[in-house]
Amino acid sequence: MTKRPLDILDQVLNRQPVIVSLKGGREICGVLQGYDVHMNLVLDRAEEKEGETTRGIGTLIVRGDNVIYISPSREDTAKE
């Protein structure tokens, strides 16, 4: 049972927010409304995190070549 990377994105369209980690240390959280083969993304109700600051950005088109990973369901439980 293999999953194609882009098929996973289909499963989270218009669902719970996804976390998108971008090159350069930025992280954006939002509801995935669309994507294409380049991993260009449409995010709704997006929020951008840089260090401790979060700011709302509404709708967003992210150019795919900036993406490091997309996490549909991050638990975010820090262990040391």
Q: For binding to a copy of itself (CB under 8 A), which residues are involved?
A: 1-9, 13-14, 22-24, 26, 28, 33-36, 39-42, 46, 52-80
In the bound complex, what is the minimum distance in angstroms from residue 49's beta carbon to a copy of itself? Answer: 10
Antiparallel, parallel or unpaired: β 18-22 and 53-62: unpaired
Q: What distance in Å separates the CA atoms of residue 63 and residue 72, rounded to the nearest whole number?
A: 18
Q: Which residues contact 36 (CB under 8 A, 6 or more apart)?
A: 64
In the bound complex, what is the minimum distance in angstroms from residue 10's beta carbon to a copy of itself? Answer: 8
Which helix (H) or strand (E) covers residue 74, if one does?
Answer: none
